[in-house]
Structure 1
Amino acid sequence: MKLPSPRGPVSDAVISTLATAPHGLTVGDPGSDDDLHLSLFILYELHYRGWDGVDDTWEWHPDLLALRARLEAEFEAELRRLPVPEHHADVPHALLAMTSETGGPSLSGYIRGRATYEQFREFATHRSVYHLREADPHTFAIPRLAGAPKAALIEIQIDEYGGGAVRRMHQEMFKETLTGLGLDTTYGAYVNVVPWQTLANNNLMSLFGLHRRWRGALLGHLAAYEMTSTGPNRAYGNGLRRLGGDASATRFYDEHVEADAVHEQIAAFDMCGSFSEAEPELAADVLFGARCVLTLEDRWAEYVLSRWEAGESSLRT
């Protein structure tokens, strides 16, 4: 499959090829993870800002939806193999325990003290795929909730969107980081150079966000993000300062240190706790969503660190 071009266009011909492609991709086969997650990312993006030169009517094309369902089934089958408690009476404290686990690869520690300037640029390149649309996947949950969990999610999202001020939107703040690093700020600019591990992290939140049945998992995903954000973002900001980054370049990370310290409690107790009380049959999904993101983030960090320690780039060439 031909990768998207650097600035995000995917032609109608590529979408048409996807619509008629064989539906037998298998997770774990040589090369199939690349195909699976690139295909899913292309299909999911039709529900966000679309692709240059692709008609918006492709978003709901029946053949594409059928293909997406098959690819999602492959992805979900892999996720279902992760060990997650089926039931837990105290979801907030279960989330606190899960997000306090140690032993995974410390990418933030490496970036704080050892990363080169070029490696930090690579790190920002990976993260640009999400940060340039930060908060958008989780916003899909708002119309699917009611009462206390809805109010808590909106409270978090208001901060993510800068309280309505463009310059304070986290998406916009990250553009300042990219500019400071001499990187392209165009939405989707680096989709074609990131590996499948990066795309999988993005596909996970789209999988949860685009399906109402996964609303609990989406809340767990967001909670895990918020509850594991403060320390790493402090390390990223300090690492960038060590490498000469100015206040504008580090503002994105510094903002998350302050904001996510507050969001942690809101996400665990006000959002996930109240949701699990309102819909106890979906409490296990909350923990499932958290486990998925923690595992996929660890897998991505391990990949990046292994490439750097081997003296190689973590990006596709």
Structure 2
Amino acid sequence: MEHHREEPGLPAPRGPLSRGVEAYLRGAGRLPRLEAVARAEVYGEDLQLALYLCYELHYRGFEGVSPDREWDPELLRIRAALEQRFLSALRADARVHDSVDEALADLLVEPVDGAGVTHFLRDEGELWHLREYAAQRSLYHLKEADPHAWVLPRLWGRAKAGMAAVEFDEWGGGRADRVHARLFADLMKDLGLDTTYGRYLDAACAEALVTVNLMSLFGLHRALRGALVGHFATVEITSSPGSRRLAEAMRRTGAGPAAEHFYDEHVEADAVHEQVVRHDVIGGLLAEEPHLAPDVAFGIDATEFVEDRFAARLLADWRASRSSLHAPLAREATHIS
């Protein structure tokens, strides 16, 4: 199936920052003052939605918003202030590894008694948990691999070739029906979810917004190319075991064949990608630019930090039998054939 390609509508604001950015995008108001950025909670709903609105202009944009807003100088000025707060907080809060090798070594260790989101979904998750997880993750997976493409012009040699090879797989290897964003839309259909791009932006929690904003932040700044490579490595290295657990969760709950296939595909593909990313992308980048090693490690650490926060939010809500979404889904929905 094809998922909808229309520009998404603007979401409801979550505070003065996102309200001001949204009004400016519609041509109906002024942008917030820079002092308001300094007062906002850095990982909170308002700041993260405001930043997401700025970033989305570089992807699909929004219905009724002029494409010219993408490079609007005033909007870029407020975006820079939002980014600076976000980046400063990440550098202060994320774990710091002394080397890329140490950071990668930790990623490669699978805890025997893991208790993360994918473990929960595999062992005790119900269909409504899987539907919520898919809705939250749709903010990224319906544009899967796109944020990482920003780094391609900033790499060369072995790193560029390796990165392009993995991205080519993510985009279906030349086959539209195998593009991973398309496969995720098929998964969403199995789960009875709306496959429209951006449909669940209003419902997604701040912690989900943070995970997507992180890759846009890294991808849109050449100075952060090392961090983007670190982020990409984290995704590819941790994807295969997590996807295996999610595939088992889909089978156990009878989510549907497309739901199973999406994660089965990632188990196999990302096991291969892991080797390419470690040896060619990271290895090639650091052979050419060894001074970027701390940035690669930071990208890994920051990714782990924001993903841990997202997981903690989901598990806290689910263990309390409450929805993780701002607009809860109907729990009785089942597989749609």
Query: TM-score of the superposition, structure 1-length normalised?
Result: 0.92
Within 5 Å, give how 1:2-21 maps onto structure 2.
Answer: 8-10=8-10, 13-15=23-25, 16=27, 20-21=31-32
Paired residue secondary structure (1:24): helix
Establish whether residue 62 from structure 1 lines up as the match of residue 73 from structure 2: yes
CA distance in 2, matches of 1:94, 1:38: 30
TM-score, reference length from structure 2: 0.86
Indicate yes or no: 2:312 matched with 1:302. yes
Paired amino acid for 1:266: V
When structure 1 is superposed on structure 2, of 142-151 and 13-22 the one drifting more is 13-22
Cα distance between partner residues in 2 of 1:49 and 1:171? 14
Residue deviations 1:129-179, cap 9 Å, x none? 100000000001111111000001011001000111011000000011000
Equivalent in the alignment of 1:242:
252
How far off is 1:8 after superposition?
2.5
Q: Partner of 2:142 in structure 1?
A: 132
> What is the alpha-carbon root mean square deviation over aligned residues?
2.1
Gaps of 5+ in 1: 1-6
**Residue-by-residue CA offset, 1:89-121 (whole Å, 9 max, x unaligned):** xx3564133442748751101101111111110
Task: Provide closer, same or farther for how the CA distance between residues 35 and 99 of structure 1 changes in structure 2, counting only shifts above 3 A.
Answer: farther
Q: In 1, Cα distance between the equivalents of 2:224 and 2:90?
A: 13
Structure 2: how far apart are the matches of 1:17 and 1:226? 42
Question: How many positions carry a matched residue from both structures?
Answer: 308
**Structure 2 partner of 1:177:** 187
1:34 to 45, 48, 64: 45
Alignment partner, residue 253 of structure 1: 263
Find the aligned partners of 1:14 and 1:153 in 2 and give their Cα distance: 36
Instruction: Give the aligned residue type for 1:10.
Output: L
Give the secondary structure class of the aligned counterpart of 2:200.
coil
SS of aligned partner of 2:58: coil
Following the alignment from structure 1 to structure 2, what is the Cα–Cα distance between the partners of residues 219 and 209? Answer: 9
Aligned residue identity for 2:109: S
Find the counterpart in structure 2 of residue 85 from structure 1. Answer: 97
**Which of 34, 39, 50 is 1:23 aligned to?**
34
Q: How much does 1:276 deviate?
A: 1.1
Q: Deviation digits for residues 229-281 of structure 1, max 9, x if unmatched?
A: 11111111110111112322211100000000001111112111221121011
Q: Deviations over 1:8-44 (max 9, x none)?
A: 3139745246852122345785697111100000000
* Contact 2:152–2:160 (Cα < 8 Å) also in 1: yes
Identity in percent: 42
Alignment of structure 1 residues 159-308 onto 2, 5 Å: 159-308=169-318
**In the alignment, what sits opposite 2:333?**
none
Contact 1:50 1:56 in 2 (8 A): yes
The C-alpha deviation readout for 1:276-311, integer Å capped at 9, x for no partner, is 121011111001001111111011001000001111
Q: Distance in 1 between matches of 2:24 and 2:115?
A: 37
How far 1:70 moved relative to its partner? 0.2
Q: SS of the counterpart of 1:80? A: helix
Partners in 1 of 2:292 and 2:129 — Cα distance? 40
Q: Is the 8 A contact 2:23 2:30 kept in 1?
A: no
Partner of 2:4: none
Cα separation, 2, equivalents of 1:101 and 1:119: 23
Contact 1:18 1:39 in 2 (8 A): no
The residue type paired with residue 69 of structure 2 is W
How far has the Cα of 1:85 moved from its partner? Answer: 3.2
Q: Unaligned stretches of 5+ in structure 2? A: 1-6, 12-21, 328-337
Partner SS, residue 37 of structure 1: helix
**Structure 1 residues 84, 98: CA separation in 2 closer, same or farther (over 3 Å shift)?**
farther
Contact 1:27 1:33 in 2 (8 A): no
Letter in 2 for 1:100: V
